[in-house]
Amino acid sequence: MKIASWNVNSIKSRLPIVVDWLRTAKPDVLLLQELKTTEDQFPRLEIEAEGYQCAVAGQKTYNGVAILSKRPMQITRTALPGDPDDAQARYIEATIDPGVRVAAIYLPNGNPVGTDKYAYKLAWMERLRRHAKETLKEEIPFVFGGDYNIAPQDADVHAPEKWQDDALCRPESRAAYRRIVHLGLTEAFRAVNGEAGRYSWWDYQGGSWSRDQGLRIDLLLLSPQAADLLEDAGIDKTPRGREKPSDHTPVWCRLAEAG
């Protein structure tokens, strides 16, 4: 089973690129972030024409997440538990046949540090930690994937000294991320590739893409049961080189079939 994640930075703007990637990369499951549209405006017909079911938690102009699946799926959550007043569409979860749980995650950016936005980011991460801890009790294979807005290590950042005060790299942010991983999760890419300087996001400004000056902030976290099935993982830079691309590119992992 190939599971991928991609912050598309507006599904309507990137639809031709997304459809083309579905046809060429052929993921079984694609987790999308930053849709920037509501459920009723999501291009469901175009995606379904490629053989994918769609589960969408949308929001006008901002945020929005979705799960696209070639396999039967059952939606289990359309919001991250822990704060019933949180109206931001940043989490959706489903069980994919034959029993793999997946979640599309759009973790808050948090900038500028020292504001309510940063406090919201850290609180959201703590909610995610608690939910992951509860999900682990089910002892099922799960993949929590998405735009984590965290560069886990300096090896995941071009010129880390320039980013040390950014919410994506602050010690508090990285510590909150480690508390999630240390529950017993495996980060798919790092499980198979220890190379520094491999990125999933490049700023639109300053020639970041052409100079390969980016950050690796799109991550796939696997439960022990999913990690046991991990065969490979990678970053597909091809879509980032297209005309009018998202500033992110897809990341993916491949799991062996259970049993």
Query: What is the set of active-site residues?
Result: 106, 147
Q: How far apart are CA 88 and CA 93, in angstroms?
A: 15
Instruction: Say how many CA atoms lie within 13 Å of 154 toward its Cβ.
Output: 7
Cα angle, residue 176 at apex, residues 191 and 255 outer, rounded to 5°: 25
Nearest one of 201, 243, 238, 244 to 107, comparing CA atoms: 201
Q: Is 171 exposed, middle or buried (0-12, 13-18, 19+ CB in 10 A)?
A: exposed
- Say which residues have a Cβ less than 8 Å from residue 49's Cβ, sequence separation at least 6: none
Please state the φ and ψ torsions of residue 62, each to the nearest 5 degrees. Answer: -125, 160
Alpha carbon 110 to chain centroid distance? 16
| Sign of the dihedral through C-alpha 249, 187, 176, 29 | positive
Q: Residue 46 is inside which H or E element, if any?
A: helix 44-48
Instruction: Say how many CA atoms lie within 13 Å of 181 toward its Cβ.
Output: 18
Helix 116-136 × helix 171-181 angle, to 10°: 10
Q: How far apart are CA 15 and CA 92, in angstroms?
A: 20
